[in-house]
Amino acid sequence: MNGHQTRAIVRIREMILRGELGPGERVAEAPLAERLGMSRTPVRQALPVLAQEGLLAEHQTRGYVVRGFSTADVLDAIDLRGVLEGLAARRVAERGASRTLLQALRVCLAEGDQILAEGHVADKFEALYVDMNVRFHQLIVAECRSPIIQQALERNARIPFAGPQALALDKTSLERMYDTMAYAHRQHHCIVSALERGESSRVEALMREHTNPVKENLNIPGTSEEPREVKPHLALVR
Amino acid sequence: MNGHQTRAIVRIREMILRGELGPGERVAEAPLAERLGMSRTPVRQALPVLAQEGLLAEHQTRGYVVRGFSTADVLDAIDLRGVLEGLAARRVAERGASRTLLQALRVCLAEGDQILAEGHVADKFEALYVDMNVRFHQLIVAECRSPIIQQALERNARIPFAGPQALALDKTSLERMYDTMAYAHRQHHCIVSALERGESSRVEALMREHTNPVKENLNIPGTSEEPREVKPHLALVR
Amino acid sequence: MNGHQTRAIVRIREMILRGELGPGERVAEAPLAERLGMSRTPVRQALPVLAQEGLLAEHQTRGYVVRGFSTADVLDAIDLRGVLEGLAARRVAERGASRTLLQALRVCLAEGDQILAEGHVADKFEALYVDMNVRFHQLIVAECRSPIIQQALERNARIPFAGPQALALDKTSLERMYDTMAYAHRQHHCIVSALERGESSRVEALMREHTNPVKENLNIPGTSEEPREVKPHLALVR
Amino acid sequence: MNGHQTRAIVRIREMILRGELGPGERVAEAPLAERLGMSRTPVRQALPVLAQEGLLAEHQTRGYVVRGFSTADVLDAIDLRGVLEGLAARRVAERGASRTLLQALRVCLAEGDQILAEGHVADKFEALYVDMNVRFHQLIVAECRSPIIQQALERNARIPFAGPQALALDKTSLERMYDTMAYAHRQHHCIVSALERGESSRVEALMREHTNPVKENLNIPGTSEEPREVKPHLALVR
């Protein structure tokens, strides 16, 4: 994926999530390229990627249209992810986490610690963190060995921000973004600690609570802790 | 639905749930009718009903085959239902249950009380109870007004015993069946009481616990409280 | 303890719990005996027993006075008991319940089943059930081996109805009393089942929920599920 | 309280918590002053303060002796505090937090944010943070208006580290101490957010989880997340 395509994906994503492109709206190559001040090729390449992410739907005759997700849907799906991952983690703790799992999770913890040791958002920071984060969550769910829970999570992850790859980074404030990462990663430490000690009730509660940094960063009116004047500048990291 | 068809449905269901018909096995009209000692017509009529229930799948050329659900899948889906309904009920309690909801639920409670007042499993007992039970659960989920949770529940309900219509009645013991009904209905009373008082944490825990009578009645080795010698005679009530 | 003394204890207890004897009120032998239509000896013998139960306090010069417990205190202490026993049970489940504990609990289950098998409230029913109930709860708390939790429970148990010996039996309706016993004992079965399977989150929730039958039987306005016209006739069983 | 007395208190506290002064050991003025390289006056003044904190007990004839608290007691009491404060916070959320409470809590949040904005442990940092922390917790418990819960918390707080004034600061690493403060204060933000939205189940889980930073900082073998070689240098801040 080249730089132009990536930029096109990021920009169109933001337009959808901010509502600049509304549900059901047709997304045509030419006007979009003009609006973005880009050439048509990267825009054309971006559309199938966004369709796979669930933000666009392929229309029989009209190319691509924006899929309809309400704010409530997004928040519900984030909650649901916490509830499903909480169920998976609780079960893992009840049965006793395997040494293999704990070792793999400790590698994730060390990676995150190293990324955060910079003390600020460094280059390549996001991609590395997201990669570690996805692995961390998948390891726990996989250990649960439940196709039912796995499928429910996969289905749920089609909704924007409802997967571990979606950190909803608030790029308007790099400092705020760093603090959120640091907080979320400390939760990772607590989750591993709870799994080590078989604290199944605690690990379930932690997994649920762990989705709140995502919700807060979404900056959706009525969900964030305090009213904020600033318009959100979200970037969906995958 | 006539008596012969009903009997065919119940019998084939039991064969699948007891593993007498294994996953992937072809279910052909003629040999099955012979095995059941029934004529072919009710068996032929039963198959599409069982397909709609999710126990059979339509095969391109071979008619119907048994869908593959492991015991673990069934138990996971029951747990998942408790977790999803728990999430829905918690939210309803947090926002405050509407008067309309509480009134409709109290009607369900009264109906159940009346059914149980017989002191034993009476005629038409099951159908009335199941009808009330389905309504009770749907009312709460509907009040939550979350398409995301609703869809996750609907998807989950395709797995046998993972919907409120599936009580997994253990017909080998009518007394045991009555006791389970009475216990489950007392939980209904507690759920309404918790909703009335806004006890959201309690109502979530109750909704989760409320799936355990179903699991116990399934009589699956390793899940029931005590080892039982008797072979289960399950009947999936819809 | 002879019959007259027992009757005196039960009657004076009821007077306190119904507010016929108010907080701080002096409880003198002679007028009380007259009011109850009993001779003075059993009343005199009853007072130190009620003092030990926490319902009366010894006054320096005035004999005994009614201790002040508000309805809110009683309900809070019942909740607190559920929370403390829930913590103890969760820990037992997290560490893994010992075979010895599970065997002793199964004996309690069998005893309760036998008592309830009568199908109605039989002679000596209450005392046997209460004895089993106290043992059941103490076994779990003891296995937790935490002097801190143990002491907090003991301190809390001084408040009426906040110990496992207090079932707050509603003797106005023997049928209702039987149903409550049956429900509470089914919860015992679930608690043992959760301990056997190491379901620590579930066992904590069950222990908390298990206090609700007590609260409901107290028939305190605003706490019971439905408004009731009948004046309560509580009897505190010890 | 002058500087010498404070230093004496802090040093003797550390000796007790590190086990350099064992349970039951007599704490005599003269040898202790010599051991600490201090004059006798500040040591004499320190002892009644430590007795009030619960670390020393007054002996009939032998002056002061070290009270016996096992590590298990300390950890249990910390857990118990989380459970009791969790119960209080849940109830506040269920009834709806008052505007007055939320405003007072937001003042605490702002104070903590300002303290932490330094980016490192600044002068007077600890005292200000501890003061804010105590207020934060007391506000929530007070709003619950339950003498029963209040008394259980007060009784529990006599055990070292089981009150909100005890942060168990790990002074061997100022950086680590800052990170723990920042994490704990972010939990404060989440707690207020949950109270604002009436998320009672979440606020209870947060209150319980909120005790874990204290436990981790205690650095007790077998409780901290990872084995640590370094000997702890705890300081009990009051």
Rg of chain A over Cα atoms, rounded to whole angstroms, equals: 19
Cβ contact D229:D127 at 8 Å: no
Residue C180: per-residue pLDDT: 85
The answer to whether C69 and D146 are in contact (CB under 8 A) is no
Residues of A in contact with D189 (CB under 8 A): 225
Region D110-124: mean pLDDT is 83
* Residue B61 pLDDT > 60: yes
B205 Cβ neighbours under 8 A, 6+ residues apart = B86, C205, C208, C209
pLDDT tens across D31-80, in order? Answer: 999 999 999 999 998 888 777 667 788 888 778 999 877 778 888 999 99
**pLDDT higher for A219 or A122?**
A122
Question: ipTM of this model?
Answer: 0.80
- The contacts of residue B99 (CB under 8 Å, 6+ apart) are none
Number of inter-chain CB pairs under 8 A, B vs D: 22
Total Cβ atoms within 10 A of residue B81: 26
For chain C, 238 residues long, give each residue's pLDDT as a single digit of tens.
566 777 787 788 778 877 788 888 999 899 999 999 999 999 998 888 787 667 788 888 778 999 877 778 888 999 999 999 999 999 999 999 999 999 999 999 999 999 998 877 765 677 788 889 999 999 999 999 999 999 999 889 878 777 776 654 555 567 777 888 899 999 999 999 999 999 999 999 999 999 988 887 765 544 433 333 323 334 333 3
Residue B218's pLDDT is what?
A: 67
Q: B107-111, B115-119, B216-220, C169-173 — which one is most confidently predicted on average?
A: B107-111
Q: Is C91 on the interface with A (CB under 8 A)?
A: no
Helix (H) or strand (E) holding D134: helix D125-144
Structure confidence at residue B219 (pLDDT): 58
pLDDT at A60: 80
CATH class for the domain made up of B3-66: mainly alpha
Q: Is C120 near chain B, with CB under 8 Å?
A: no
Single-letter residue type at D200: S
Packing angle of the helix pair C29-36, C3-17 (nearest 10 deg): 100
The DSSP secondary structure of C2-47, one letter per residue, reads -HHHHHHHHHHHHHHHTTSS-TT-EE-HHHHHHHHT--HHHHHHHH
What integer is the mean pLDDT of A12-19? 78
- Which range has highest mean pLDDT (A43-52, B143-152, D163-172)? B143-152
Phi-psi region of D64 (alpha: psi -120 to 50; beta: other; left: phi over 0): beta
- Each domain of chain D, given as residue ranges in start order, spans 3-66, 71-235
Contact yes or no for B230/B170 (Cβ under 8 A)? no
CB–CB contact D94 B204 (8 Å):
no
Q: Quick check: C225 and B196 CB within 8 A?
A: yes
Look at A138-152, B131-145, D15-29, D86-100 and tell me which has the smallest mean pLDDT: D15-29
Classify residue B21 by its DSSP letter: S
Which residue, among D12, D76, D64, D71, has the nearest Cα to D38 in the 3D structure?
A: D12
CB D88 within 8 A of CB D123: no
Contact C200 A94 (CB under 8 A): yes
Beta strands of chain A (E only): which ranges? 26-27, 56-59, 63-66, 169-170, 234-235
- What's the pLDDT score for residue B82? 96
The pLDDT assigned to D127 comes to 75
Assess contact for D8 and D36: CB atoms under 8 A. yes
Q: Is D182 touching A (CB cutoff 8 A)?
A: yes
Going by the DSSP 8-state scheme, the letter that residue D186 receives in this structure is H
Closest listed residue to residue C213, CA positions, set C205, C223, C221: C223
Nearest to A91, CA basis, from A134, A141, A156: A141
Chain C interface mutation, best of A83, A200, A202, highest count of C Cβ atoms under 10 Å: A200
What pLDDT, on a 0 to 100 scale, did the predictor assign at position D56?
86
Least-confidence region, from A2-16, A21-35, C168-182: C168-182
Q: Which segments of chain C does DSSP mark as H helices, in order?
A: 3-17, 29-36, 40-52, 71-95, 99-116, 125-144, 147-156, 174-196, 200-209, 212-218
Asked whether residue B42 carries a pLDDT value surpassing 70, the answer given is: yes
Mean pLDDT of the region B45-62: 80
**Can you tell me the distance from the alpha carbon of D113 to that of C153, in angstroms, rounded to the nearest whole number?**
38
Q: Name the residue facing C149 among D80, D87, D155 (closest C-beta).
A: D80
The CA distance from C81 to C75, in Å, is 10
- D153 contact C CB<8A: no
Interface check for B198 against chain D (CB to CB < 8 A): the answer is: yes
Nearest to D204 among B95, B198, B201 (CB): B201
Task: Work out the average pLDDT over B221-227.
Answer: 39
D65 sits in which H/E element: strand D63-66
Predicted local confidence at residue D216, as pLDDT? 77
Is residue B222 within 8 angstroms of chain A, CB to CB?
no
- Whether C71-235 and C3-66 are alike in CATH topology: the answer is no
pLDDT computed for residue B221 by the predictor? 44
Sign of CA dihedral A138, A141, A145, A151: negative
Number of continuous H segments (helices) and E segments (strands) in chain A: 10, 5
Q: What is the pLDDT of residue D148?
A: 93
pLDDT digits (tens, 9 = 90+) for A72-93: 888 899 999 999 999 999 999 9
Check if the beta carbon of residue D238 is closer than 8 Å to that of residue D174: no
pLDDT band at A232 (very low <50, low <70, confident <90, very high): very low
- D71-235 carries CATH number 3.40.50.720: no
Confidence class for position B10, pLDDT limits 50, 70, 90: confident
User: C209: nearest CA in chain B?
Assistant: B202
Q: Phi and psi of D235, rounded to 5°?
A: -135, 120
D196 touches B at CB < 8 Å: no
The closest of C97, C130, C89 to C112, measured between CA atoms, is C130
Residue partners of B236: CB distance under 8 A and separation at least 6: B10, B13, B17, B53, B160, B161, B166, B168
Please list every residue in chain B whose beta carbon sits closer than 8 Å to the beta carbon of residue A149. Answer: 76, 80
What percentage of chain B carries pLDDT values higher than 90? 46
CA distance C101 to C64: 41
Cα Rg of chain B, angstroms: 19
Tens digits of residue pLDDT in B157-201: 878 777 776 654 555 567 777 888 899 999 999 999 999 999 999
Confirm if A237 and A126 have CB atoms less than 8 A apart.
Answer: yes
Q: Does pLDDT of A57 surpass 90? A: no
Spell out which residues of chain C touch residue A196, defining contact as CB-CB under 8 Å.
Answer: none
Q: Report the alpha-carbon angle B115-B119-B123, nearest 5.
A: 55
State whether residue B197 sits within 8 Å of chain D by CB.
Answer: yes
> First and final CA of chain C: distance in angstroms?
13
Which partners does chain A have (≥3 C-beta pairs < 8 Å)?
B, C, D
pLDDT tens string A92-104: 999 999 999 999 9
Would you tell me how many other CB atoms lie within 10 Å of the CB of residue B181?
21
CB-based contact B200 D197, cutoff 8 Å: no
B205: nearest CB among C179, C209, C216: C209
Bigger pLDDT: A220 vs B101: B101
Which of D94, D197, D199 lies closest to B199 in CB terms?
D94
Within 8 A of C189 by CB-CB distance, chain B residues are 225
For the cut 60, the answer to whether the pLDDT of residue B94 exceeds it is yes
User: Can you give the length of chain D in residues?
Assistant: 238
Query: Does any CB of chain C come closer than 8 Å to the CB of residue D149?
Result: yes
Average pLDDT over residues B33-56: 85
Alpha carbon separation from D129 to A181, D51, D89, D136 (Å, rounded): 23, 24, 21, 10
Residue D224 near residue D5 (C-beta atoms within 8 A): no
The enclosing H or E element of B59 equals strand B56-59
pLDDT of res. C232:
36
- Judge contact between C238 and C166, C-beta under 8 A: yes
Give yes or no for B213 touching D (CB within 8 A): no
| Closest C-alpha to D135, from D159, D96, D117, D109 | D109
- Mutate which: B69, B71, B83, vs A, most A CBs within 10 A: B83
Task: Return the residue matching tokens 């509660």.
Answer: A205
Put simply, the answer to whether C209 touches B212 (Cβ < 8 Å) is no
Closest partner CB to D201 (pick from B90, B95, B197): B90
- Of residues B26 and B237, which shows the higher confidence score? B26
Q: Flag if B148 and A159 touch (Cβ within 8 Å).
A: yes
3-state secondary structure of D18: coil
C159 lies within 8 A of chain D by CB: yes
CB C87 within 8 A of CB C204: yes
**What local confidence, expressed as pLDDT, does residue B223 receive?**
42
Chain A touched by C200 (CB under 8 Å): yes
